[in-house]
Amino acid sequence: MAVAVATVAVGLTVAAVVVVRRAEPELRAAIVRGLEARFDSEVQLDGVEVSLWPSPRLAGHGLVLRYQGRTDIPPVIAVRQFAGTAGFRGFFARRIEEVTLDGLEITIPPRRREEMPHLGGGGAPADLEDDSAPPVIGRLVAANTRLTVLSRDPGKKPRVFDIHTLELTDVRLDGPADFTAALTVPTPTGIVEGRGRFGPWQTDEPSLTPLDGAFTFNADLATITGIAGTLESGGSFAGVIERITATGSTRTPDFRLPTLTNTPVPLETAFDAVVDGTNGDVYLTRVGARLGGSAFEVTGAIVRTAEGPGRHLTVDVTATSARIDDVLRLLVDGGRPPLTGMMAGKARLDIAPGEADLVDKLWIDGTFTLREARFQSPALQAKIDELSQRAQGRPGDEAVDDAVSNMTGRFALKDNVLTLPLLTFGVRGAAVQMAGTYGLRSEQIAFRGDVRLDAPVSRLTTGVRSWLLKPFDPLFRKHGAGTRVAIRVDGTRRDPKFGIELGRTLRGR
């Protein structure tokens, strides 16, 4: 983009140097011929004027370049007004001190050919081939600039960027230009600032114009419905407009899901990605993410589809060294997560496009394993401790305290409901298998399962009751367990209800 701007300016300036003594109609014709040859475009120029005092100056307005004469797409370059100035020494040395452009619009058409052509600078304009040295612009400044990148898919909307500032230095036709720029990104809303090199402009395939440099990006994540936080990002990029490789990092110290809880959890990432500049699709080749104290590896894509506004995100996440409490802080209100423990697992995460809250359109499917899990609810942890005591045939033994669980399971999250088709966990002396659902918004719990204890039913209690239960030991001894009991868990996260289903227990199902 930057070199496109610079090349137009250079073409204008070169033409002025060659024909400065001609009448203005001849000057205008020379500029048009030069730009048509350089850009393989049909050129329209409403007006131009040149002056030599107090210093050489070229000005014009209404410049339009239609790529290969095409009228089915917007002009590749349009400039409302332009002006170039040079000192007399620079005039004869073919160096222009400064060029200004106002109302610049650049449209990058999609590549027509599938093969990757040679990236060269293109030939010089036919009218200017006799000039021995290419001209140089010391500084180029563009105001009120808009960049539009057309997609290869005609059904997809173009990418549009409003560029607040654009400045280039040491601009020439036969090489790249140094640039600095700042522009607004709509989603999430933020400012991108970049500097680097851009060009030379590829006349045959503008989308193959090379670029490289560094960037910073600061954004408010609250502009995406369902998430919040202040994003800071930076890194480097290189490639061509239609395929840019980027390496960088992000930092969001207050990442949160306000629909569920406003508890902030710090999120940091280091990433390698490929960006299709023609449609904005991003392919995440490697992302190392740290949520709180937990580490994850992520790959996937963020692409535009026909499903609705925005982009469809699909990623594969692997928990490499993670804690369940870091994840639950985002999902469960109340400050303290209900469960702690080390977590491993894999999941496919899918977020559809559209204006709905992120939580409402989030879909996850995966597996997990928890080690040394403890419940933060004293009442719930007391139930687990009691279960372990009785399972070992040591009811009331306070030495069996703060029992830890190891859990494995498969889960799916859709429409705000977490479904666990099979959850297994064990404490010393007991194994539990359960299946059920949990509502993220409602916090409603609905689980059914069974508990298998090492101890027979008569050893789950003490005293006279223990003796009275001895005849029932064979009735409850099923599936290789000393005691097998069918259970249910209902209620809410804050007020869970536990119960034994005697019918299922006696039937052995």
The pLDDT value given to residue 468? 73
Q: CA-CA distance, 107 to 503, in Å (whole number)?
A: 72
Tokens of 328: 């639950």
* 85-110: pLDDT as tens digits: 876 555 555 677 888 999 999 888 87
Q: How far apart are CA 431 and CA 450, in angstroms?
A: 8
Number of Cα atoms under 13 Å in the Cβ half of residue 429:
20
Rounded CA-CA distance 234/131 in Å is 42
pLDDT at 308: 65
pLDDT at 213 (0 to 100): 96
Q: Which residue numbers in the chain have pLDDT < 50?
A: 16, 19, 21, 115-132
- What one-character-per-residue DSSP string does 37-87 give? HHHTEEEEEEEEEEE-SSS-EEEEEEEEEEETT-SSS--SEEEEEEEEE--
Cα separation, 127 vs 125, in Å, equals 6
15 in Cβ contact with 31 (< 8 Å): yes
- Main-chain dihedrals φ then ψ at residue 172, nearest 5 degrees: -145, 165
C-alpha 50/C-alpha 315 separation (Å) is: 57
CA–CA distance, 335 with 228 (Å, rounded to integer)? 17
CA distance 86 to 202: 27
Quick: pLDDT tens for 345-395: 999 989 888 777 777 888 999 999 988 877 777 777 777 777 777 777 777
Instruction: Please report, for the chain, the start and end positions of each structural domain, with discontinuous segments joined by +.
Output: 1-207, 377-507
Q: How many CB atoms lie within 10 A of CB 77?
A: 26
Gap between the Cα atoms of 466 and 459, Å rounded: 6
Q: Which amino acid does the sequence have at 353? A: P
For residue 118, the Cα-to-chain-centroid distance in whole angstroms is 31
Contacts of residue 440, Cβ cutoff 8 Å, sequence gap at least 6:
260, 331, 359, 413, 416, 417, 418
Nearest 5 degrees, angle CA 404-CA 410-CA 414? 120
Element spanning 452, H or E: strand 445-453
Cα–Cα–Cα angle for 447, 449, 455, nearest 5°?
135
What is the pTM for the complete model shown? 0.75
> Is the distance from CB of 420 to CB of 409 less than 8 angstroms?
yes
